[in-house]
């Protein structure tokens, strides 16, 4: 017990800072992945062949390659073309692009679940395409796909541990730093696991709260 309080005093603040970094990366990743995913889902349904092919290639490539390789491509590969990013920015871009491909498929399934008769009726009432998408389609799609989006957000949070390989000081890298000086891997990997578990649990509870609110206003 004495050792626990000593560790909490010595490393607690560092773990808190690392956890805040993870949450910041996760939040940015979720926002950008929804943007990428929505664009890809709409492009895949587009009547323009070029847009469809680009979206199909993006989804095919991202879902068919490891997330870690994608992180390395953004951080180590892209600078060869004269465009370099900090580890934080590269990590956010890579994780958002990775998650966006899965979000695109989630949204596509949600869009396919909307009856075409609703869309045709909206057009018949004189609504524009953008109004139909914003006021009719997307609110329903959001309710349908919210559980799947939550699962993808949790996956994005856990994928932040991959960024320790490009020196982002997240929970994983901070734990590894401590282990290298204390030679106590079991305790500090367990500590890192508990922190990730708390964050994913909070994210799940937040999603459940949103679902309950959505059901209340249906």
pLDDT in tens, 90-101: 999 999 999 999
Q: Express as a percent the part of the chain with pLDDT over 90.
A: 69
Q: For the chain, which domains are there?
A: 16-216 (1.10.3720.10)
- Residue 175 CB partners (closer than 8 Å, separation 6+): 15, 188, 189, 191, 192
> How many residues can be counted in the chain?
218
Arithmetic mean of pLDDT over the chain: 91
Please tell me what DSSP assigns to residue 114.
Answer: S
Tokens of 58: 């993006």
Model's pTM, two decimal places? 0.90
Separation between Cα atoms, residue 121 and residue 137, nearest integer Å: 12
CA distances from 203 to 28, 116, 177, 217 (A): 14, 33, 27, 22
Query: Can you tell me the mean pLDDT for 104-119?
Result: 86
């Amino acid at each position: 017990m004495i050792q626990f309080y000593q560790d909490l005093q010595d490393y607690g603040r560092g773990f808190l800072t690392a956890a805040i970094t993870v949450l910041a990366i996760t939040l940015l990743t979720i926002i950008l992945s929804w943007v990428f995913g929505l664009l890809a889902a709409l492009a895949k349904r587009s009547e323009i062949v070029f847009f469809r092919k680009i979206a199909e290639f993006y989804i095919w490539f991202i879902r068919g390659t490891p997330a870690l390789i994608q992180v390395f491509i953004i951080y180590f590969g892209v600078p060869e073309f004269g465009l370099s990013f900090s580890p934080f920015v590269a990590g956010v871009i890579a994780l958002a692009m990775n998650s966006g491909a899965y979000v695109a498929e989630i949204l596509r399934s949600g869009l396919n679940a909307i009856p075409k008769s609703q869309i045709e009726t909206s057009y018949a009432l004189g609504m524009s395409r953008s109004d139909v998408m914003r006021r009719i389609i997307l609110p329903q799609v959001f309710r349908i796909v919210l559980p799947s989006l939550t699962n993808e957000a949790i996956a994005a949070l856990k994928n932040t541990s991959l960024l320790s390989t490009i020196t982002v000081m997240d929970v994983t890298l901070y734990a590894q730093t401590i282990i290298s000086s204390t030679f106590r891997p079991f305790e500090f990997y367990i500590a890192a696991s508990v922190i990730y578990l708390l964050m994913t649990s909070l994210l799940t509870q937040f999603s459940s709260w949103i679902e309950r609110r959505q059901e209340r206003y249906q």
